[in-house]
Amino acid sequence: MKKIILLATLLMTLSKTTIIAQVTSQSLTKDEALVIQAANWVETTDLDKELEKRKEINSIVLKWYIDTITLNMSLVEKLSTINEGNSEFLMIFFAGYSRYFIENKKNITNLAATKAGLISVMKVYKKGIGVTKSQEIEKLIKLTDENKLEDYIKTNFD
């Protein structure tokens, strides 16, 4: 009798775990489409426009990042140098990194995702709307033009 009760309890526990895992997995997958849309929005919308909506969009990206267990972005000190004077750039980096991660799950590397995040930041910076001049981002743009951005990332983000 004890074995039957133990087996029934074990089966119920396993089935609950499976259901919870499926719900979490399904909600994360649904949220991935929102994160991709959010990343596209933060890149194309000027920094001085729709400030309240920007906060909501940033929340979507940040919530997805916190909820996902498969993404381990290394936040290095260099990011604070890059974002100096442009506080919104950190979330733009997160959005670009996360979008790349979602779109390239099968062959994701930290180098490639970091590059995508930095490219998102550079796109917004180049528009010049609502941004503060940054020598570090100017350096990134030059390195990108010279095809040396990956070397920079290897040196500063690993």
pLDDT tens-place string over residues 145-154:
999 999 999 9
pLDDT tens-place string over residues 62-111:
888 888 766 666 667 788 888 889 999 999 999 999 999 999 988 888 89
Burial letters for 71-100: b for 16+ Cβ neighbours within 10 Å, e otherwise?
bebeeeebbeebbeebebbbbbbbbbbbbb
What is the rounded radius of gyration, in angstroms, for the C-alpha atoms of the chain? 20
CA-wise closest residue to 137 among 73, 93, 76, 74 = 93
What's the distance, Cα to Cα, between the start and end of the chain in Å?
56
pLDDT tens-place string over residues 106-135:
888 889 999 999 999 999 999 999 999 999
Q: Which carries the bigger pLDDT value, residue 20 or residue 120?
A: 120
CA-wise closest residue to 117 among 147, 143, 82 = 82
130 φψ region: left (φ > 0), alpha (ψ -120 to 50), beta (else): left
